[in-house]
Amino acid sequence: MIYASKWIAGAAVVLASVATGLAHADDSAIDARKDDDAFLLLRDAVRQDDAVKADFYAAKLGAYSIPSYVDYYRLKSHFRDVSYADLRDFLNRYAGSAIADRLRNDWLLDLGRRRDWATFDEQLPLFALNDDIQVKCYALQSRALKGQKVADEARALLVNPPLYGDGCSGLIATLALAGQFDNNDLWTQVRLAGEFDATGPARRAMALLGGSEKKIAQAIDLPAIALAKGMGGGQAEHEIYLVAIGRMAKTSVKLAVLALNKAAPRLSAQEQAQGWANIALQSSYTLAPETRGYWRKSSGAPLSNDALQWKTRYALRDGDWQEVKADIRAMPPALRADPAWTYWLGRALMADGATGPTGAASGEALQLFRGIAEQSNFYGQLALEETGRLITIPPAGAPISAAEIAPIAANPGFQRALKFFGMRLRFEGTREWNWSLRGLSEREHLAAAEFARQNNILDRMVSTSERTRIQVDYTQRFPAPHNDIMRSTTQTLGLDQAWVYGLIRQESRFIMDAQSSVGASGLMQVMPSTGRWVAKKIGLADFVQDMLSDVHTNILLGASYMNIVLGNMDGSEVLATAAYNAGPGRLRTWRSTLTGPMESAIFIESIPYVETRAYVRNVMSNTAYYAALFEGRPQSLKARLGSVAPKGYSAQEEQETSFGGR
């Protein structure tokens, strides 16, 4: 009994100790959650420019696990008044970190606005990412003020007026006053601003030309009124009128054509060509049959990058390979080097006879294809096939060991990234993750990707693994999570599992709790309204929106919707993919513009929506790789794409006029 009593007493002490430990652990977890909540409130206060609240929450976070971000937000809340000494102190304390580079970005923008070029020039070489267009503009402005010739660099940079801000507007003014930009450069900026509906940049460029800011603003914002007032005399009045024609064409091509024809007798040949180019660009987005004629009338007009590409796309749709070749050669070097235009130039050369005895690419065409064939993207895959090879999965190297993952797991940047991902702060988490990849070897990239897999951050696994070129692991690049659910769902529906995974990889990068800005949810980014409609279609009772966060339900509804859309698109994965992204109604409209079968790659390249165009390319590229992984044999993307045809076009007719990848 004595021994039993001692044992019971000892056990009680142990249990009490364990209970105390658990209580402390619970308290620590509660404190950590409170700190995280305070941090989120600090972040929101800074975003709302509420310095008082920011100071209040920062004061609560004296022992926070990520002090650099607390200090960053504390400085940001008082950025207008903070001293250079405080900024330098922060940069020294957190030197080499992602958040220090972010603060340097903020400071460079402020230095540019202040025109403090001495400090700007001192800090610019230390800005590691250097990915801010306004900082780039300030950098060119600083050099121009020192007498350096930067006009060519500026022309290449100044192609997107909505992004200009003070930095790029100041650069344009500096170059104009220094004589590095002439009136043609300024009119180019006015026309670009018209294309992009950017009234502010248009007004500023017009002021430098000595024209009417009010009239150019009206031409962009109220084109019908500007056209009703008629066209005055002189270049400025003509240019403003032509901008208004382009803006009017966005609403009514018919009215824009009437206005241009009415003004034609008073316009020079080049001005008329510019007017037709403005109309053609807006008409291109509708795939209207008259568009090709408008582009023909635009010959001789100076074209923006967007206009050059659309002119080329219409030549592609028309099968005019001579014009395709001429249009691509007319593109600026940086645009011409894009894999899309490298591929299509090669195809144009082949159509012009640049083939060998077997019909394969040769000469310059083969050189172009080989230049992009190693790229694991849509046009790289198509180019690979033009060189006579099919899509295969490279063998993986030795498995990543625990010893290789250990230093990744211990890296403070990756630890911060995990912390942010746990708080659902994906922007901050991704920034820390990507920053921490800098300087790593290919093997270390694969180890980081494996670390991401272990922590179920599959989007980082994919993007990290994609950075390697020599050592590759396609199971990281093209994961297949939830395969049991996927297999049973796709088998029941008769869907191609590779296609469904290819779409998920593009939709959500396998982030289960992904939420789009328009409310789409989960792996397959199903909209609530679509989820309700599909649930009713398939007899899924008692559907509620929260069910979209369940993996099984999300895959079931998303795959079922893919199946419905595929049936409506006559079994074309290309058309169904585009419909999944842009909506079946838009696809019916785009498809109705077809007069016969069209090579799918050309149809994809001429999809009017930039997002949908890139989406379909990526999904179909993903699908080819997944098929190669699942089937264990080489794949042909060209064969998978095939051709698309108008609704009701018979299979026999389509086969008789099949492009066969040509």
| Best CA proximity match to 126, nearest among 106, 110, 104, 99 | 104
Lowest-pLDDT choice from 220-234, 270-284, 359-373, 384-398: 359-373
Give pLDDT tens digits for 168-211: 999 999 999 999 999 999 999 999 999 999 999 999 999 999 99
Examine the pLDDT at 657 and tell me if it is beyond 90. no
* 511 and 459 Cβ atoms separated by less than 8 Å: yes
Rounded percentage of the chain residues whose pLDDT exceeds 90: 87
Give pLDDT tens digits for 422-439: 999 999 999 999 999 999
Which whole number is the average pLDDT over 366-373? 97
CATH for 402-472?
1.10.1240
Q: CB atoms < 10 A from the CB of 507, how many?
A: 23
Which whole number is the average pLDDT over 318-324? 97
- For the chain, give the mean pLDDT: 92
Cα 401 from Cα 407, distance rounded (Å) = 11
pLDDT of residue 14: 39
pLDDT of residue 220: 98
| Best CA proximity match to 625, nearest among 378, 275, 309 | 378
pLDDT of residue 358: 59
Examine the pLDDT at 27 and tell me if it is beyond 90. no
pLDDT of residue 300: 93
- In eight-state DSSP terms, residue 400 is P
| Best CA proximity match to 189, nearest among 229, 214, 222, 216 | 216
Examine the pLDDT at 650 and tell me if it is beyond 60. no
The alpha carbon dihedral of 213, 216, 221, 225 has a sign of positive
pLDDT of residue 513: 83
Examine the pLDDT at 556 and tell me if it is beyond 70. yes
* 520 and 511 Cβ atoms separated by less than 8 Å: no
The alpha carbon dihedral of 430, 432, 438, 441 has a sign of negative
Helix, strand, coil percentages, rounded to 5, for the chain: 70, 0, 30
pTM: 0.91
Examine the pLDDT at 235 and tell me if it is beyond 80. yes
Examine the pLDDT at 4 and tell me if it is beyond 60. no
Cα 185 from Cα 88, distance rounded (Å) = 39
pLDDT of residue 649: 78
Give pLDDT tens digits for 558-572: 999 999 999 999 999
pLDDT of residue 446: 98
The SS3 of residue 378 is helix
Cα 196 from Cα 246, distance rounded (Å) = 11
Which whole number is the average pLDDT over 519-539? 91
Q: CB atoms < 10 A from the CB of 410, how many?
A: 9
pLDDT of residue 542: 86
Examine the pLDDT at 376 and tell me if it is beyond 60. yes
pLDDT of residue 301: 96
Question: Count of residues for the chain?
Answer: 662
Examine the pLDDT at 323 and tell me if it is beyond 70. yes
Band of residue 478 on the pLDDT scale cut at 50, 70, 90: very high
Examine the pLDDT at 5 and tell me if it is beyond 60. no
- Topology at the third CATH level for domain 483-656: Lysozyme (1.10.530)
Give pLDDT tens digits for 238-272: 999 999 999 999 999 999 999 999 999 999 999 99
Which whole number is the average pLDDT over 154-170? 96
How would you class 407 by CB atoms within 10 Å of its CB: exposed for 0-12, middle for 13-18, buried for 19 or more? middle
Question: Which of the two residues, 547 and 639, has the higher pLDDT score?
Answer: 639
Taking the CA of residue 596 as centre, how many other CA atoms within 13 Å lie in the half-sphere pointing to its CB?
11
Examine the pLDDT at 1 and tell me if it is beyond 60. no
Band of residue 26 on the pLDDT scale cut at 50, 70, 90: low
| Best CA proximity match to 562, nearest among 609, 614, 623, 631 | 623
